[in-house]
Structure 1
């Protein structure tokens, strides 16, 4: 509203007081939150001796934010600077559950396969993970129903912790095991690709070139769909789809990426068949 009034009547305005203080706090808090995530990632990378395993551990954090947003919507409480404080605390707590589960999976995987280790570790760590979360959630829950004016300042933080941890508890037991299995499958595919390139020898240059062309095509597709909407707020006119929204751009990007993947797969099959005929 204020920018519209300023442009219409030629006046200047500036947010001050509590609004200015909140903006400065949120700016500093976001920087601190980013540094916190970087520190957590580097610490986990050092502990697990891996650059990819910390990503699995930290993948649960965005889903905790979903619980936070739902909690604020359910209690009709606006997001504030106290919400950010709760999010920083929730991040450290919710990661502990992932670390406990993944450490147990790694311990069991030394004696058995990964999938049996995931199943046994999830079953064995169910009680500790639930107790860790429930003690925090149930301890803070009474503050949700406190009506005093002093408690209202803490309510956004409490909602963030209670709903973020409660929602994250379920996802830790479901999402993290699935991500561990996906990580193993992706690692196997990557190792197979590396072995195939080494075995092919000189012809591996052609495979690398083909993969580079596909990657460039996907990058161009991203720039023409999602990138155009992010930068210009609309899809390019040459697509003939009008203005377009972010959802439409994402749909086009996914469909185009799938088409490129199928095309690359078909061309690979054809090339492999022709090579066998030549032999």
Structure 2
């Protein structure tokens, strides 16, 4: 009536987002760099198996889903990164949105404080300058651009504008006293140099123990503090140079207009 054979089969059908799924796991070497592992999966291993990014664009570190190419053994299959990589991508998107909101709010506060769009834009120049310092600092320290680094980047957005606010406000005070733009900029550079440098030094000094990991156990916080330290140091140096130049360019004819109005 029947024939019974022993065979190996699935003992359970696992699903992910209501679709049949198989979870692939593997062991890695000690102290792995997850960014390099996922980059190798995206750029080498998955393409060699016939997968391509689902968004049809160039492969980037934000690609989370791949689909099988027609005519390959992977046709009809879909590969997605889950676990740590999935959570990291979600957090990156959340932090990116938070940074955009923070930049908009900071800009609105600066416009209200200075009653000038030009001066608000001058102060906001320090934000991209700090990003250059973060990239250089991560390269020098050999830290990956991880989630902790991005958190430091978001925090840095609200920190680096402080020095520029001090400089621009002092220039405005000098102009109210009747100084020309050039003289007000020179006076601000001389009188605000020490406060700006001391503010930066004290902030960096407070973060150094975490960055150097003197007591151990602060590996997660090192990229975060490194982003703040290098970004703040780089932005401070350029603030003392770029902000006065930007102010002079924005108000290059302000003295002539004031004289004509008088």
- Indicate whether the TM-score tops 0.5: yes
Give the distance between the partners of 1:156 and 1:187, measured in 2 at CA.
Answer: 44
TM-score, with length taken from structure 2: 0.68
Question: 1:90 is matched with which residue: 156, 161, 166?
Answer: 156
Task: Please say if residues 134 and 228 of structure 2, whose CA atoms lie closer than 8 Å, have aligned partners that are also in contact.
Answer: yes
What residue in structure 2 maps to residue 157 of structure 1?
224
| Cα drift, residue 112 of structure 1 | 0.7
Q: Which residue in the other structure is 1:167 paired with?
A: 234
In 2, Cα distance between equivalents of 1:39 and 1:3 = 41
CA distance in 2, matches of 1:90, 1:141: 15
What SS is found at the alignment partner of 2:143? Answer: coil
Give unpaired runs (5+ residues) of structure 1.
192-279
- Cα deviation for residue 150 of structure 1 reads 2.6
Over 3 Å counting, the alpha-carbon distance change for 1:117 and 1:186 in structure 2 is closer
Structure 1: distance between partners of 2:92 and 2:184:
42
Alignment partner, residue 249 of structure 2: 182
Q: How far does the alpha carbon of each residue in 1:203-253 deviate from its partner, in whole angstroms, 9 at most, with x for none?
A: xxxxxxxxxxxxxxxxxxxxxxxxxxxxxxxxxxxxxxxxxxxxxxxxxxx
Higher helix share: 1
Alignment map for 1:21-40 (pairs within 5 Å): 21-40=87-106
Deviation at 1:187, TM superposition (A): 7.0
**Partner residue in 1 for 2:73:** 9
Instruction: Note if 1:133 corresponds to 2:197.
Output: no
Q: Does 1:108 align with 2:174?
A: yes
Q: Could you list the structure 1 runs, at least 4 aligned residues long, displaced by more than 2 angstroms after superposition.
A: 142-145, 147-150, 185-189
**Corresponding residue number in structure 1 for 2:22:** none
More displaced 10-residue stretch of structure 1: 106-115 or 83-92 = 83-92
Normalised to the residue count of structure 1, the TM-score between the two structures is 0.64
SS of residue matched to 1:13: strand
Structure 2: runs of 5 or more not aligned: 1-42, 52-68, 258-262
Measure, in 2, the Cα distance between the counterparts of 1:113 and 1:186: 11
CA root-mean-square deviation: 1.9
Farther off after superposition, 180-189 or 35-44: 180-189
Q: Confirm or deny that 1:72 pairs with 2:150.
A: no
Taking a change above 3 Å as real, the CA distance of residues 186 and 27 of structure 1, as seen in their structure-2 partners, is farther
CA distance in 2, matches of 1:34, 1:59: 15
How far 1:184 sits from its partner (Å)? 1.0
Aligned length: 190
- Indicate the residue corresponding to 1:251 in structure 2: none
What is the Cα deviation at residue 45 of structure 1? Answer: 0.6
Aligned to 1:44: 110
Structure with max Cα Rg: 2
Shift of 1:122: 1.0
